[in-house]
Structure 1
């Protein structure tokens, strides 16, 4: 009889203990789960609003994606730490461990992270964007993609060139399509015997007749140099960026045809040799 009562007392004790732990820690676990799921929902809404605002402001899509992902990861880390802390776990050690791990990873991947840092600079300061035609690191091409580690250019002959962002940002960058207008620099050589004024008039007429040439800034035609074999005439018309190559090709061909019509020659390098017969 005593054994049965003793067994019942133990069962009651463990039942009370289980109920106490279930009540205490069950509520904490439930609270932590609520913190995590509600926090994740709120983080998603915040990221959605950030993306919507940036897209409305017509920010570069690469920057929108980067900002949204970075914000979401940061919010999730804060939410997880808050959920763990609600369970009564000391989170200071976790933060220290994460910090040490981050330092070790940073040292191991310093070159890769430098490319990421360069990508952040490119995205925020925007020296160029997708679709721009640039020259950098000794190559030229249209910017196809910008990611966290590299930038891909497509050359005029349809080759893909992948440049690490760190290398790209440390060199000179020439953006040929950064502005809406661009000047076409052309040089035409004529013979010293040709009519200089007529040649200038012919070139100016060709420039003004081309619909791609802008009225403002006005085109300029001037003598640029008296070279060894020719008189060099500089032509400086302005065109829209998208019309640069077509405009240059059209004007160059038209000037040659007009020169032929007016008898204006384009001299070749030549040398006059005078031979003197010595006295015997």
Structure 2
């Protein structure tokens, strides 16, 4: 091979390497510039949403979704710059999405349920709820799980899909709630007198609401004696204080009034 041909081959190879190196450097620069622009866009979007006083959990949810979408677009754009057929890449990405979706169906279901919880807002952070067999105060509503602190101070993490697919009781949604208690009387006790005594004493318990007034009535008759229902109303934050105070007042009222303790009575007849 003559020197001229060798020189031409080397020149052509050097040109190819230089072009490839230029594209690699350009791709790296595009990647860093694109990442900076994505971070800036997400930051601006988050600030705009915060000014609208949108829930912080929803802002985090939207920011994460936007970041994933913009990063995918950036990768596709860089591959297109290298001459890679982006339609084939899109099809591959779609196929991968289907495969990942099938493998992570539970995780994606939690993600979708988290979106519905944030949009529909059946409860908020700080609410006292009962759902999926767990009762407690909501600490955090995440993209995939919701964190609840139970009354015995145990942090419980529940998948959003399980939480959203079952019944949810929100005890904090209304301004007040009812305390439900039952009292058993002995047959020798006059029920009307017991109701009168309880009405007077329960009305003095702190944080019990006067409207609606406490309900104290005979609910049923048992072999041991009549049964009363005692149902005072109070603010959600005072529920347990009213619950325990009402129990204490019932015991003290009946003891001070000298009411007999209910007992089971049997009558034996000999024929």
Does the 8 Å contact 1:145/1:153 carry over to 2? Answer: yes
Equivalent residue, structure 2, for 1:262: 257
Please tell me whether residue 177 in structure 1 is matched to residue 178 in structure 2: no
Q: Structure 1 residues 52 and 181, CA, compared in 2 at 3 Å: closer, same or farther?
A: farther
Does the 8 Å contact 2:172/2:236 carry over to 1? Answer: yes
Equivalent residue, structure 1, for 2:230: 235
Using the alignment, how far apart are the partners of 1:56 and 1:228 within structure 2? Answer: 65
Q: CA deviation at 1:74?
A: 1.0
Using the alignment, how far apart are the partners of 1:216 and 1:55 within structure 2? Answer: 39
Using the alignment, how far apart are the partners of 1:228 and 1:153 within structure 2? Answer: 42
Equivalent residue, structure 2, for 1:205: 200
Q: CA deviation at 1:245?
A: 0.8
Please tell me whether residue 97 in structure 1 is matched to residue 88 in structure 2: no
Q: Structure 1 residues 178 and 27, CA, compared in 2 at 3 Å: closer, same or farther?
A: same
Q: CA deviation at 1:123?
A: 2.9
* Counterpart pick for 1:271 among 251, 258, 265: 265
Aligned length: 270
* Counterpart pick for 1:114 among 100, 109, 112: 109
C-alpha distance after superposition, 1:202-261 (max 9, x if no partner): 222233212211233333222322333222222222211111111110111012212222
Output the TM-score relative to the length of structure 2.
0.80
Does the 8 Å contact 1:221/1:233 carry over to 2? Answer: yes
Equivalent residue, structure 1, for 2:136: 141
Structure 1 gaps of 5+ residues are none
Using the alignment, how far apart are the partners of 1:54 and 1:181 within structure 2? Answer: 33
Q: CA deviation at 1:99?
A: 1.0
Q: Structure 1 residues 54 and 261, CA, compared in 2 at 3 Å: closer, same or farther?
A: farther
Q: Structure 1 residues 208 and 98, CA, compared in 2 at 3 Å: closer, same or farther?
A: same
Structure 2 gaps of 5+ residues are none
Q: CA deviation at 1:162?
A: 3.7
Please tell me whether residue 40 in structure 1 is matched to residue 35 in structure 2: yes
- Spell out the pairing of 1:185-200 with structure 2 (5 A cutoff): 185-200=180-195
C-alpha distance after superposition, 1:49-102 (max 9, x if no partner): 333344455544433322211111112222332343344443111111111111
Specify the structure having the higher radius of gyration (Cα). 1
Using the alignment, how far apart are the partners of 1:180 and 1:75 within structure 2? Answer: 44
C-alpha distance after superposition, 1:129-182 (max 9, x if no partner): 343333333343333444444334433333344433333333222233333321
Output the TM-score relative to the length of structure 1.
0.78
Does the 8 Å contact 1:140/1:155 carry over to 2? Answer: yes
